Structure 1
Amino acid sequence: MAESWISPPTRQPLIEDLVSGVDRYNPSNVGILEDYLYHQIRSQEYDCLANLAILKLYQFNPELYNPDVVINILIKALTTSPLPDFNLSISLLDERSINSSLEEPDPVPALLPTLKRLNDLLYKCRFPAFWELYQSAELEHLRDNYTVECVGFEDSVREVAIRAVKATFTRISAERLASYLDLNGTDLAAFVQKKGWKMEAGVIEIPPNPDNQIEATVVQENIKLSQITKLIAHGASN
C-alpha cells in the first residue's frame, strides 16, 4: 500500500519525472501538474504526491495560486481517510496562498472549515453524520460546483466506509450498513451483491479478513539462568 501511495501504477512517466526529480519545484511545470489533477478528477485515479507538489509550488510562487485547484485537491484527499493526505494538503496552505490577490473572492477560506468537518467525520467513522452534513442545504454550493465534477466522489466515500466495516464487523445489519453508505433498498442490495457479500434476513455477512478475525497469540519468552542471577544480584546490591 505504501508503494502504491508513493508511486501509483497509473502515474504517467512524465509526471513521475516531475514528482521524483528536481523539476518538481519548477514553476513552469505547474500547468502540467494541474492538468494531471483534472485527469484524476475525471478518471477516479489519485496521486497524492503529485497533488502535494502543486500546493508546494503555490507556496513558493503565490502568483500561481488557483483556489479551484486547491479545493479539488482537498476533495480528492477526503476519500483517502484514514490516510493523512487531507491533513498533509492542509499543512501546505499558508497565509500567502489563501490571501493571494485574486480578481474574484477566494472560495477556499469559506469552504475550508466545512471540508475539515467532513474529513473529521470520515476519520472518526461517523458516516451517517457525514452524509447528513454532505446532503444538507448548507453544502449545496459544494455539491453543485465541486463534487459533482469529481467522478465517483460519493462511491469513493462509500469505499472509506467499507474499509472500516471490513476491519470491524463479521456481520452487520442492512439498516446499519445503509446508514453508512447512504444507500437503501435495491441500491443497497446491488452494492452488496457487487461486493460478493451474502445478505439474509436483513443481516450481511462480511467475509473473513486479517482485520476482523480474532486469533489467539502465544508469546514465548526465553530467559537464560545467567540473566536471572544477574538480575537478582543487581537487586541485592541495591
Structure 2
Amino acid sequence: MGREISSGGQKSSSSSSAGMSYTVEQLVAVNPYNPDILPDLENFVNEQVSSQTYNLDANLCLLRLYQFEPERMSTQIVARILVKALMAMPAPDFSLCLFLIPERVQMEEQFKTLIVLSHYLETARFRQFWDEAAKSRHLLEVVPGFEQAIQAYAIHVLSLTYQKVPRSVLAEAINIEGLSLDKFVEHHTANSGWVVEKGHVKSPLITLPSNEFNRPELKKNTADGVPFEHVARIFPILG
C-alpha cells in the first residue's frame, strides 16, 4: 500500500470523511483531477526519490494537474519525475511524461538536457550519455540510484545485441573501469550467469546468458504452430 494522506475534512457521499486517510493510489484512482491533491502528489514524488520507489500513475496524474494549474507547477518536481522516468527505461515512461509537459517548460535548460540524455539512451549511445550526465550531476545526483538504474538498462541493451561482449564495450556502456569493473563483472559472474573468456588479452570477452534476441534460434517459431482456436473449429466436424 502507498503512503496514507489525510483527507483534510472533505465530505464524502456516504459520510463525513474528517479524520479518514487515503493512500496516494486511492486519491489518484478516485479523484485524479482534484487540484486539492496536488501538494500530496508533489510530496509523493519526493518520497519516491528518498525511498527509491516509483509510481508512474501518480506522477502522470500530477503532470496532468499541472496542465490545469500551470501557475502551481514546480519545475524541480517535474525534473525529478523525468529523472525517475529515465531510470525506468526501457519502459516508455519518459515520453509519456514529456507529452504532458508544456513546450515552453521543455525549453528550459535542465529539461533540454534530460531530453538529450533520453535520446542518447534510446539510441544506445552510452559514451555520449555518460559524458553529458557528468556535466549535469547537480540534476541527476539528487535522485539516488540513478547511475545503477542506467547501468542496468545498458546491460539490458547489450544482452539483446551480444552473445559475447568485449570487456571494453561493457566498460564504455556502464561507465566503469579498472578494479571497479573487475568487481562488477565478478558480481554478475556469480549472480547473473556471465562467463569471462580470458583467452583474449587486449579485451576479454564476456559471454552473456542466451535469450531469444542474442540467439534467434531460441525464439519460438509461432508461424509453424496451429492456434488452438483453429483446432477447436474442427472438433464439431470430427464429431
Q: TM-score of the superposition, structure 1-length normalised?
A: 0.75
8 Å CA contact 1:170–1:207 kept in 2: the answer is yes
Alpha-carbon spacing, 1:220–1:72, altered in 2? closer, same or farther (3 Å): closer
Alpha-carbon spacing, 1:108–1:27, altered in 2? closer, same or farther (3 Å): farther
Once the two structures are superposed, the pairs formed by residues 70-149 of structure 1 within 5 Å of their partners are 70-94=78-102, 98=105, 109-135=108-134, 139=135, 142-144=136-138, 146-149=139-142
Three-state SS of the structure 1 residue aligned to 2:90 is: coil
Q: CA RMSD in A?
A: 2.3
- The share of aligned pairs that are identical, in percent, is 32
Kindly indicate whether residue 144 of structure 2 is the aligned counterpart of residue 151 of structure 1: yes
C-alpha displacement at 1:83, in angstroms?
A: 2.2
Three-state SS of the structure 2 residue aligned to 1:187 is: helix
C-alpha distance in 1, partners of 2:53/2:107? 23
Kindly indicate whether residue 195 of structure 2 is the aligned counterpart of residue 198 of structure 1: yes
What residue is the counterpart of 1:24 in the other structure? Answer: 32
C-alpha distance in 2, partners of 1:90/1:63? 18
Q: Which has the higher contact order (CA 8 A, sep 6+)?
A: 1
8 Å CA contact 2:165–2:208 kept in 1: the answer is yes
Per-residue displacement from partner, 1:49-85 (whole Å, max 9, x unpaired)?
Answer: 1111111111111232111001111111112233221
Per-residue displacement from partner, 1:95-120 (whole Å, max 9, x unpaired)?
Answer: 5x83xxxxxxxx97122221111100
C-alpha displacement at 1:220, in angstroms?
A: 4.3
Q: TM-score of the superposition, structure 2-length normalised?
A: 0.75
Q: Which consecutive unaligned segments of at least 5 residues does structure 2 have?
A: 5-22, 199-203, 227-239
Aligned residue pairs total 197
More helix by share: 1
Query: What is the letter of the counterpart of residue 200 of structure 1?
Result: E
Q: Which consecutive unaligned segments of at least 5 residues does structure 1 have?
A: 1-9, 99-106, 223-238
Kindly indicate whether residue 174 of structure 2 is the aligned counterpart of residue 177 of structure 1: no
Alpha-carbon spacing, 1:214–1:38, altered in 2? closer, same or farther (3 Å): same
C-alpha distance in 1, partners of 2:28/2:181? 40
User: Is 80-89 or 178-187 further displaced after alignment?
Assistant: 80-89
Query: What is the letter of the counterpart of residue 92 of structure 2?
Result: P
What residue is the counterpart of 2:179 in the other structure? Answer: 186
8 Å CA contact 1:11–1:47 kept in 2: the answer is no
For residue 65 of structure 1, the aligned residue among 57, 73, 89 is 73
What residue is the counterpart of 1:211 in the other structure? Answer: 213
C-alpha displacement at 1:212, in angstroms?
A: 2.3
What residue is the counterpart of 1:228 in the other structure? Answer: none
8 Å CA contact 2:165–2:206 kept in 1: the answer is yes
8 Å CA contact 2:133–2:140 kept in 1: the answer is no
